[in-house]
């Protein structure tokens, strides 16, 4: 019994000791706040229309055919630069060659018959002038001549049709450019209108961006626009060259902004860009609150920023986001323009964790 009581006493003492250590560690953890760096929400006058878009070539086409047939040769690959007139794709054309040969044979036969009918017409025309042939005979040879002319013309057009179809079995580059995609391999079945290759012109780029229905009325053709390419850290001055009068997607209107030729170096089709078009309408020049995009915390469908409470603890504040401006993002609600927030931290932040300003 003494041994049992002694053992129970040891267990109880050890439990109290462990709880004490746990509380001590907890207090120690709480006594070590996370170092943070604060920032202040920036205020900017929004004298401009902001849109996002992508870089695209001014001229891009699908290389396809009007006939159905097996692809017998593809002589380029994505990335290849080609000159105008270079052979790109060949398609089987045995059936078209056979139709052309048949048309040639029909034309040869029709031309021989036409020559014979012409001789008869010339002879009967002379006899009819001498009143040695009746009017009915002369009409018959005239009709026969016209019939042979029609047959010869039909055969000639059949030959032209075959020649025209042969053009679509040898697809060539319509302009100098670069191959951007290959959608089929040798042996595949080409169908009318189905792209086999995609090519675009090199060096002539533009931006295709979408502007909301609230701002499209402020955009004018010829307006100067600032293009920001984040991946290249480039700022380019462009010009609005085209405005779509029709919305293609949920109240968004497409605009095109030209890029100067000297700025094309290092650009590629598909790069994402931001576009800012200055406006003079003071009614739209509202003050906006901006914070660095790196300070935003995302959780599910919510976004927030960490602020500091009066007790020097991190406090997650949910906010409503607006448009993106370069590396900053607009705060529509949830944070005042002069309010401080946590910009950087030395550790993981969560609600209630002690912090100390560096």
Provide CATH 1.10.287 ranges for the chain.
98-152
Which of helix, strand or coil describes residue 336? coil
Alpha helices in the chain (DSSP H): 2-30, 94-129, 135-167
pLDDT in tens, the chain (358 residues): 444 444 544 454 455 444 444 444 443 344 588 999 998 887 766 567 888 889 988 888 999 998 899 999 999 999 899 999 999 999 999 999 999 999 999 999 999 999 999 998 998 888 888 888 888 988 999 999 999 999 999 999 999 999 999 989 999 999 998 999 999 999 999 999 899 999 998 878 899 998 888 788 888 889 889 898 888 888 889 999 998 888 777 778 899 999 988 888 888 888 899 888 887 654 555 677 888 888 899 988 899 999 998 888 999 999 998 877 767 888 888 888 778 899 899 888 988 899 998 8
Assigned fold of 98-152:
Helix Hairpins (1.10.287)
Helices (H) and strands (E) in the chain, counts: 3, 23
Q: Residues near 306 by Cβ (< 8 Å), separated by ≥ 6?
A: 36, 295, 297, 314, 315, 316, 317, 341, 342, 345, 349
Architecture of domain 49-58+204-283: Beta Barrel (2.40)
Provide CATH 2.40.420.20 ranges for the chain.
32-45+287-357
pTM for the full predicted model: 0.55
**Four-way CATH pick for 61-92+169-200: 2.40.50.100, 3.90.1310.10, 3.40.718.10, 3.40.190.10:** 2.40.50.100
Q: What CATH number is given for 32-45+287-357 in this structure?
A: 2.40.420.20
Provide CATH 2.40.30.170 ranges for the chain.
49-58+204-283
Provide CATH 2.40.50.100 ranges for the chain.
61-92+169-200
């Amino acid at each position: 019994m003494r041994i049992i009581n002694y053992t129970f006493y040891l267990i109880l003492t050890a439990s109290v000791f462990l709880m004490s250590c746990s509380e001590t560690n907890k207090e120690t953890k709480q006594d070590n706040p996370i170092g943070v760096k604060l920032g202040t929400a920036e205020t900017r006058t929004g004298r401009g229309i902001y849109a996002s878009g992508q870089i695209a070539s001014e001229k891009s086409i699908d290389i396809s055919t009007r006939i159905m047939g097996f692809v017998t040769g593809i002589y380029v690959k994505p990335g290849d630069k080609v000159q105008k007139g270079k052979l790109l794709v060949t398609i089987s054309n045995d059936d078209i060659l056979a139709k052309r040969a048949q048309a040639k044979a029909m034309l040869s036969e029709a031309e021989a018959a036409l020559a014979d009918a012409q001789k008869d017409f010339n002879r009967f025309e002379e006899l009819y002038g001498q009143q040695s042939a009746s009017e009915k005979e002369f009409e018959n040879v005239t009709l026969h001549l016209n019939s042979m002319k029609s047959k010869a013309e039909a055969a000639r057009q059949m030959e032209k049709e075959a020649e025209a179809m042969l053009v679509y079995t040898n697809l060539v580059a319509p302009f100098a450019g670069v191959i951007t995609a290959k959608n089929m391999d040798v042996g595949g079945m080409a169908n009318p209108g189905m792209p086999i290759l995609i090519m675009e012109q090199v060096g002539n780029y533009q931006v295709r961006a979408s502007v909301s229905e609230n701002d499209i009325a402020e955009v004018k053709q010829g307006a100067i626009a600032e293009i920001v390419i984040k991946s290249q850290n480039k700022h380019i001055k462009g010009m609005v060259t085209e405005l779509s009068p029709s919305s293609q997607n949920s109240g968004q209107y497409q605009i095109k902004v030209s890029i100067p030729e000297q700025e094309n170096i290092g650009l590629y089709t598909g790069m994402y860009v931001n576009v800012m078009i200055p406006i003079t309408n003071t009614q739209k020049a509202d003050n906006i609150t901006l914070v660095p995009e790196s300070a935003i915390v995302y959780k599910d469908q919510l976004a927030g920023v960490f602020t500091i409470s009066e007790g020097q603890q991190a406090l997650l504040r949910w906010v409503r986001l607006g448009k993106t401006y370069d590396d900053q993002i607009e705060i529509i609600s949830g944070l005042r323009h002069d309010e401080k927030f946590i910009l950087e931290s030395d550790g993981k932040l969560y609600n209630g964790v002690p912090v100390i300003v560096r």
